[in-house]
Amino acid sequence: MKTLTVIGARPQFIKCAPVSRLIKEKNTEILIHTGQHYDPEMSDVFFDELNIPKPDYNLGIGSGSHGKQTGEMLVKIEEILSIERPDLVLVYGDTNSTLAGALAAAKLHIPVAHVEAGLRSFDRSMPEEINRILVDHISDILFCPTQTAVDNLKSEGITKGVFLTGDVMADALRDNLALAEKQSPILEQYSLKSGQYLVLTIHRPSNSDNPECMNDIIGAVSDSGVKTIFPVHPRTKKNLIDFGMWNKMPDNIIL
């Protein structure tokens, strides 16, 4: 069986790692990296550090409007599908890469499997919510992380091909605990002790593009007084600079 996997955003690299390793034990996997996250620190590093095989195709799409980005992905993925003729297309999450991969496959009558199916924010103003709904409704196999996700699909009339699998991020965490302990010096570098620090990430546009939300989040972390590691998303960094917050980080936040 040949599976073609489409990824492109940072979380998808992490999610696909344990699944890809298992697929390759008994089957063939073709990996497409759309290039949705175009910063090397946001993509290449994950292939190196998580032992993910290098992609067979790197589309190099980069940034752009939702329509431009998704459209360019759709055209290029369709071309690859016509060449590779996979038995299944596997997509993850709720990004433009997810939508483009699923839509290209569905239009070529190739079965689609969606990891993290059924998740809903019930906020149609979020681009990710539109992607989730559309992908779920054109998928043939839906892997749900929670019972709530299964129930969400049922309420939308989707009951066939639905599987409650649990959260693939839990698998990724288990797979990489030993690797992190061996290779990452961050605990020693910042004198961090178990149970005495936080990790902060901010990347949703509804948070990172809103100065009030950003101020509230940073303020809450500051008020906690707990030492916090903040690996900053490139767009989030730009916004923090634009909002005049980058050089005013509380002492307990380590960038």
The helix (run of H) or strand (run of E) holding residue 143 is strand 141-144
The SS3 call for residue 163 is strand
> Concatenated DSSP letters for 33-89?
E--SS-SGGGTHHHHHHTTPPPPSEE----S--HHHHHHHHHHHHHHHHHHH--SEE
66 catalytic residue (yes or no): no
Active-site annotation holder among 109, 114, 203, 233:
203
The helix (run of H) or strand (run of E) holding residue 26 is helix 10-26
Catalytic residues: 203
